[in-house]
């Protein structure tokens, strides 16, 4: 067969559309809690309370930590946000753990250093890590395996979310996941075409190329 880009490769020159905006928000967006969920996810156990009391300095840092921790518990994601964006959650946390503080009046600046400190504590608590190059490679291999079960990109994505949680690393960004799934699908197609070429004689191969050219 001719050594040209496959139809699948051409379609992936633009990123593969997998999730709707709503589905992306469900996975990558800050969780939105009702009161019952706030009571559950913002409750600190003894180890978490020790970090809150002894490892963090300043009211803003303590509040951001509890918020980030609660969001991680439900999503296994780490977020950048301002208190104003999650004011109802922040007021709940302040009332519960720092009742003398007016959360709307505190210094809500949240520098990179403080944020990374919080991330470090949270990842350690759950034995998680940020995704490494080897994890991205393992996601591609896992996607290739899933393709034998179901080639629907949305199904593959959901299975990879589960895989990343089982392996305890933070799910890469949506664009990275699009590229991972695209790579797996293109690689798998190439492997199948190579296997097919090995099974075909020249006459059949020429007939297929003629049909493909005619269809193009």
* pLDDT per position as a tens digit, 66-116: 999 999 999 999 999 988 899 999 999 999 999 998 888 876 666 788 899
Does 3 have pLDDT greater than 90?
no
Digit-coded pLDDT (tens) for 183-194: 999 987 666 656
Mean pLDDT across the stretch 116-123? 97
Beta-carbon count within 10 A of 142 CB: 19
Could you give the residue ranges of the DSSP H alpha helices within the chain? 7-11, 21-28, 35-41, 46-54, 59-75, 87-97, 112-126, 133-147, 153-166, 174-199, 202-215
pLDDT band, very low/low/confident/very high, at 2 (cuts 50, 70, 90): very low
**pTM here?**
0.81
pLDDT in tens, 6-49: 444 444 456 789 999 999 999 999 999 999 999 999 999 999 99
pLDDT band at 135 (very low <50, low <70, confident <90, very high): very high
Residue with the larger pLDDT of the pair 209 and 215: 209
pLDDT score at 168: 97
Mean pLDDT, residues 58-64 taken together: 92
Q: What is the pLDDT of residue 195?
A: 55
Question: How many angstroms separate the CA atoms of 151 and 146, rounded?
Answer: 7
Are residues 78 and 170 in contact, defined by beta-carbon separation less than 8 angstroms? yes
């Amino acid at each position: 067969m001719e050594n040209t880009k496959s139809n699948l490769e051409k379609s992936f020159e633009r990123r593969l559309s997998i999730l709707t905006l709503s589905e992306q928000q469900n996975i990558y967006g800050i969780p939105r809690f009702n009161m019952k969920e706030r009571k559950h996810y913002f409750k600190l156990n003894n180890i978490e309370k020790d970090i809150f009391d002894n490892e963090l300095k300043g009211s803003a840092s303590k509040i951001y930590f509890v918020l980030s921790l609660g969001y991680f518990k439900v999503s296994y994601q780490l977020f950048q946000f301002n208190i104003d964006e999650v004011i109802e959650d922040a007021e709940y946390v302040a009332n519960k753990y720092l009742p003398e503080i007016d959360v709307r009046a505190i210094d809500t600046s949240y520098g990179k250093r403080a944020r990374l400190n919080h991330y470090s504590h949270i990842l350690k608590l759950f034995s998680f890590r940020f995704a490494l190059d080897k994890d991205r490679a393992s996601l591609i291999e896992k996607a290739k395996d899933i393709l034998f079960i179901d080639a629907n990109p949305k199904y593959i994505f959901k299975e990879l979310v589960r895989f990343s949680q089982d392996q305890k690393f933070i799910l890469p960004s949506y664009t990275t996941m699009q590229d991972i799934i695209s790579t797996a699908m293109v690689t798998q197609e190439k492997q199948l075409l190579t296997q097919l070429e090995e099974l075909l004689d020249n006459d059949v191969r020429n007939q297929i190329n003629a049909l493909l050219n005619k269809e193009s």
